[in-house]
Amino acid sequence: MSHADTFHPFARVLHWLMALAILSMLFVGAGMVTSVEARHAWLLAIHKPLGITIFVLALIRLGFRLTHPAPPLPADMPEWQKLAAHASHWLLYGLMIAMPLIGWGMLSAGNYPVTLGAGLRLPPILPSDAALFAWLREAHRYLAWLFFLTFLAHIGAALMHGLIRRDGVLQSMTGGRRSA
């Protein structure tokens, strides 16, 4: 297995850490806005600090990715699949960075204190504006949907590479042995 065929170990660690964080985040978000029970409060308490964590990790990851190119996709992949792969990866990067910023901005526009727990509070990044709050809140909802659907496509495609094509693309991120 050559190094050129797998992601850098640091990129792999970041990928799996963020996969867990982002998937948790999507479920936390969906659960918290549809509950009036006690879990609404503790899900909200997780949502904000986890969102900022994802934001920071996403910036580190983006920086690393721009300086450490991903292994090339198999040469025999159809062009449309390659295009879909690249587009969906950059969409995921965009959402990882945009979603926390929109959440932060939306709380700022709603004039809510942006509390992260343990006495930590972030400064507002937007002026107090109710209409802006509403736009950002709805953007947060619909982009979360887009995020989840992109995740489904991502995991479906990853499994297709690993189980059907067996072309080493899945292993480039799992770090396991490439199939023969």
Partner 1 sequence: MQEPETRRPPAHAVWRWALIGLVVAGFAAAFGYVGGWLAPGRLTPKRIIDALQANGGEHPGFRRNHAKGICVAGRFESSGALAAYSTAPLFAPGDTPVVGRLAIPGGNPYAADSSVPIRSFALRFDLADGEQWRTGMNAMPVFPVSTAQAFYDLQLATHPDPATGKPDPAKPKAFFAAHPETAAFLAWIKTAKPSASYVTETYQSINAFYLRDAAEQRHAVRWKVVPEQPASGDGGPAAGDPDYLAADLAKRLGEGPLRWHLQMVFAAEGDPVDDATKVWPADRRTVDAGTIVIDRMQAQDDGPCRDVNYDPTILPRGIEVSNDPLLVARSAAYADSYLRRTSEEGHLPGTASPKENHP
Taking the C-alpha atoms of residue 52 and residue 100, their distance in angstroms, rounded to an integer, is: 6
CB 114 within 8 A of CB 122: yes
Residue given tokens 């850098």 in the structure block: 8
Q: Give every CB contact of residue 19 below 8 A, 6+ residues apart in sequence.
A: none
Q: How far is the CB of 45 from partner 1 (least distance, A)?
A: 10
Q: Which two tokens stand for residue 147?
A: 């995020």
Q: Give every CB contact of residue 149 below 8 A, 6+ residues apart in sequence.
A: none
First to last CA, the chain: 11
- Residue 15 or residue 166: which is nearer to partner 1 going by CB? 166
Please select the residue that binds partner 1; options are 128, 146, 175, 176, rule is CB under 8 A. Answer: 128
How many residues of this chain bind partner 1 (CB under 8 A)?
47
Q: How far is the CB of 30 from partner 1 (least distance, A)?
A: 4
Q: How far is the CB of 152 from partner 1 (least distance, A)?
A: 5
Of the candidate spans 61-69, 81-89, 95-103, 117-125, the one that interacts with partner 1 by CB under 8 A turns out to be: 117-125
Residue 30 interacting with partner 1 (CB under 8 A): yes
Taking the C-alpha atoms of residue 149 and residue 145, their distance in angstroms, rounded to an integer, is: 6
Of the candidate spans 59-67, 79-87, 92-100, 132-140, the one that interacts with partner 1 by CB under 8 A turns out to be: 132-140
Of the candidate spans 6-14, 85-93, 96-104, 122-130, the one that interacts with partner 1 by CB under 8 A turns out to be: 122-130
Residue given tokens 């619909």 in the structure block: 142
For the chain, what's the residue count? Answer: 180
Q: How far is the CB of 146 from partner 1 (least distance, A)?
A: 13
Please select the residue that binds partner 1; options are 21, 33, 57, 62, rule is CB under 8 A. Answer: 33
Residue 175 interacting with partner 1 (CB under 8 A): no
Please select the residue that binds partner 1; options are 9, 20, 35, 176, rule is CB under 8 A. Answer: 35
CB 26 within 8 A of CB 148: yes
